[in-house]
Structure 1
């Protein structure tokens, strides 16, 4: 639902167009990133979503500011507070590590909306928490790994053993076991979200141990994909966004997030007088999370495998298949 005109009696939805009359004042949104807008992962997925909203609304109605590489919570807190004091409508701190910072800043700016994710607790009445159900797409990718591995060994390159990475890894393992109970999944963590070198080294270790399917999450995966792309017969499964452009002959499929819908929902809630206090899920059911196939490698995946996974996708979306987290 990316466009609409608000009428006196009813809402008229027009695909693809935001009517400028629906926005009396320019919407100013600030994005705080621990990485960069072109990290081909978590950060870029949100940035691309915001740019899509900006394109739909028009530059005259939507202003976007971005602060990158704010790993340090103190620096992030200063930037968040500065944007709020400058009158930004919505300040998005794109990382679970920013929750405590927002809890401190938000009460000082009750008219500003804040948001963070992966988040489970909205906290203050002017904080939104968005929560990708990473385990859902991960389950489908796990099924794909289990059904396509030739060695029976699958490697996971993890960042830190917490948050969204755990949800992804648990869902992935469940998918592997559901499709191939005999397959072995080996998981290792770099201890960082952005250590490309360490991610590459873990990928090498997995491959030396016989893994022919690899996956992983966070910005560091670029390093692991680079390693996988140099090894014939080794494939990668992505999350956060479609990473097939990095290695068209290596990335089989991806779990991709559509943050534009999340941003639009937050702006609509704010427009109706709700400044926060809501938990917003990204899921297969809402269409804010999807499975993306790499058309360049369609011949590498048997049709019956694709059919089986697409059937599982429909079951998860409808609620008949639950990917529960322990």
Structure 2
């Protein structure tokens, strides 16, 4: 995506030194709900950031809202806080910090701007003017783990992610629990490489996991997913994606995808603010009971008996008969040099 020039998007991509100069006060835009969003990544990554951006654009059309956003902020607390301050100074009705990596920064900056509402998507922080909206991707990750445990032929499955943020850790815990629930003897290889977007690195990690016996690898990545796709395609291993339905995008590699549309959290926060029901001080959660937001998508080649088992597990989670854990402890797969 090129530079943002639309009058509705008053901020542009961050430079290495910080934000580019603002083009004008957001509060001076149209008299609709004004929203300024931060994306600590690229909004065309075909992953988590793009899902959030799509939710923001949906809010622009349907709420309606006047939007601005900045992207490409390094995921360090100081950089995120500086970007959030720039957004808040425009005095929008709502500042959206997309992703749990913004927890600490949003908590600090919200306290500095008590007259501006803040939300962290996939977050767990609250305050007098701060809420978190969370799509429960650990629930679809549990189902992904169950599918991997049921379909592995080697008895070894993999999990790959980048940054150790709370939603990613919860997703890993859910996946591990799903594997163990249906196949207690299966071995899990799990790795956080430090980057969501490095394709060379993800290819190394996936290749190493496959060489260690993993025949199904669950990737919780953003722009760096392509490297893992290449490794799976070259070796014949299958992959499970996340965020969107990857079985329709790369059908030869993806056997399933743990869909968790974080854009729904962005959209819902904006809609709630516009309707006067934004609940600062609370965490709002959306799970498998809302399948358009959270579900496991499966490729046509998944056997009927596996589909039936996944359907039963879904019903158990929605009914509260099965609880998805948020924590996992165990040895991790080393990141290749």
Query: Could you say whether these structures have the same fold, taking a TM-score greater than 0.5 normalized by the shorter chain as the test?
Result: yes
What is the aligned partner in structure 2 of residue 315 from structure 1?
316
2:81 pairs with 1:77: yes
Where in structure 2 are there 5+ consecutive unaligned residues?
A: 1-29, 328-337
What is the aligned partner in structure 2 of residue 27 from structure 1?
33
| TM-fit CA distance, 1:246 | 4.6
CA distance in 2, matches of 1:305, 1:65: 44
Shift of the 183–163 alpha-carbon distance from structure 1 to 2, 3 Å rule, reads same
2:70 pairs with 1:64: no
Check whether the contact 2:52–2:262 (CA below 8 A) recurs between aligned residues. Answer: yes
Matches within 5 A, 1:199-214: 199-214=202-217
What is the aligned partner in structure 2 of residue 14 from structure 1?
none
Which of 247, 263, 266 is matched with 1:263 structurally?
A: 266
Matches within 5 A, 1:293-312: 293-294=297-298, 297-298=299-300, 300-312=301-313
Shift of the 93–216 alpha-carbon distance from structure 1 to 2, 3 Å rule, reads same
| TM-fit CA distance, 1:224 | 1.4
**Residues 179-235 of structure 1, C-alpha deviations (whole Å, 9 max, x = no match):** 122221111221233332211101000111221100121323332123213332x11
2:42 pairs with 1:39: no
2:154 pairs with 1:151: yes
| TM-fit CA distance, 1:115 | 1.2
What is the aligned partner in structure 2 of residue 181 from structure 1?
184
Check whether the contact 2:157–2:216 (CA below 8 A) recurs between aligned residues. Answer: yes
RMSD between aligned alpha carbons? 2.3
* SS of equivalent residue, structure 1 residue 115: strand
Q: TM-score, normalised by structure 1?
A: 0.82
CA distance in 2, matches of 1:109, 1:204: 47
CA distance in 2, matches of 1:116, 1:147: 35
| TM-fit CA distance, 1:161 | 4.3
| TM-fit CA distance, 1:269 | 4.0
**Residues 35-64 of structure 1, C-alpha deviations (whole Å, 9 max, x = no match):** 11111221111112222222323xxx3222
Q: TM-score, normalised by structure 2?
A: 0.80
2:140 pairs with 1:137: yes
**Residues 60-103 of structure 1, C-alpha deviations (whole Å, 9 max, x = no match):** x3222221110143343333222222232211111222222222
CA distance in 2, matches of 1:292, 1:51: 24
Check whether the contact 1:40–1:243 (CA below 8 A) recurs between aligned residues. Answer: no
**Residues 273-294 of structure 1, C-alpha deviations (whole Å, 9 max, x = no match):** 6462220113113446422425
What is the aligned partner in structure 2 of residue 15 from structure 1?
none
Shift of the 94–267 alpha-carbon distance from structure 1 to 2, 3 Å rule, reads closer
What is the aligned partner in structure 2 of residue 192 from structure 1?
195
2:288 pairs with 1:284: yes
Check whether the contact 1:40–1:222 (CA below 8 A) recurs between aligned residues. Answer: no
2:92 pairs with 1:91: no
Please, which moves more after superposition, 134-143 or 281-290? 281-290
Please, which moves more after superposition, 263-272 or 44-53? 263-272
Check whether the contact 1:229–1:247 (CA below 8 A) recurs between aligned residues. Answer: no
Shift of the 53–273 alpha-carbon distance from structure 1 to 2, 3 Å rule, reads closer
